Amino acid sequence: MTRFNALILAGERSGGDPLARHLGVPAKALIEIGGQPMLAHVISTLRTAGADVIGVSASDPQVIALAQAMGCEIIRAASGPSESAAEGFQRLGAPMLLTTADHALLRPEWVRHFMDQREDSADVSVLLAKRETIERAAPGTQRTYLAFADGKWSGCNLFFFATPRATAALALWTQVEADRKRPWRIVRKLGPALLLRYLLGRLKLKQAIAHLGALAGLEVQTVESPFGLAAIDVDKPADLELVKQLTDRIDAPWALNQAGRAKS
Q: For residue range 208-224, list pLDDT tens digits in order.
A: 889 888 888 999 999 99
**Least confident piece of the model among 32-36, 59-63, 155-159:** 32-36
Kindly write down the DSSP assignment for every residue of 72-100, as one continuous string.
Answer: PEEEE--SSHHHHHHHHHHHH-SSEEEEE
259 pLDDT above the threshold of 60: no
Q: For the ranges 10-14, 24-28, 163-167, which has the lowest average pLDDT?
A: 10-14
Average pLDDT value for the chain:
88
Nearest to 40 by CA among 202, 261, 211: 261
Bridge partners for 147 per DSSP: 152
- Over residues 219-237, the mean pLDDT reads 95
Q: Collect all residues with Cβ–Cβ distance below 8 Å to 167 and sequence separation of at least 6.
A: 86, 89, 90
Chain length of the chain = 264
Per-residue pLDDT averaged across 234-258, rounded? 72
Three-state DSSP at 225 gives coil
Q: What pLDDT does 53 receive?
A: 98
User: Which are the contacts of 20, defined by CB distance < 8 A and separation ≥ 6?
Assistant: 12, 26, 27, 28, 30, 31
Q: In the prediction, which pLDDT does 220 show?
A: 93
The number of beta carbons lying within 10 Å of the beta carbon of residue 79 is 10
Instruction: Give yes or no for residue 250 having a pLDDT over 80.
Output: no
Q: How far apart are CA 230 and CA 154, in angstroms?
A: 10
Per residue, the 3-state secondary structure of 1-20, as one string, reads CCCCEEEEECCCCCCCCHHH
Distance CA(152)–CA(130), nearest Å, equals: 6
Q: How confident is the model over 242-252, as a mean pLDDT?
A: 75
**Amino acid occupying residue 215:** L
Query: What pLDDT sits at residue 258?
Result: 32
pLDDT, tens only, 89-139: 999 999 999 999 999 999 999 999 999 999 999 999 999 999 999 999 999
Instruction: Sort strands 73-76 and 54-58 into parallel, antiparallel or unpaired.
Output: parallel
Q: Is the pLDDT of residue 187 over 50?
A: yes
Residue with the bigger pLDDT between 254 and 166: it is: 166
Cis upstream peptide for 95 (omega within 30°): yes
Beta-bridge partner residues of 127: 223
Instruction: Determine the pLDDT at residue 255.
Output: 38
Domain made up of 5-262: CATH architecture? Alpha-Beta Complex (3.90)
Instruction: Tell me what percent of the residues of the chain surpass a pLDDT of 70.
Output: 87
189-209 mean pLDDT: 80
pLDDT for res 254: 39
Q: Can you name the residues that pair with 256 across neighbouring β-strands?
A: none
* pLDDT tens sequence across 126-169: 999 999 999 999 998 989 898 999 999 999 999 999 999 999 98
Q: Is the pLDDT of residue 174 over 80?
A: no
Instruction: Tell me how far CA of residue 225 lies from CA of 150, 196, 237, in angstroms.
Output: 14, 28, 25
Pairing of strands 73-76, 5-9: unpaired
CA distance 34 to 247: 8
Residue 263 has pLDDT above 50, yes or no: no
Given this model, what pLDDT does residue 182 score? 65
Question: Which residue would you say has higher pLDDT here, 233 or 34?
Answer: 233
pLDDT of residue 208: 86
Neighbours of 86 (CB within 10 A): 18
Section 83-92 average pLDDT: 94
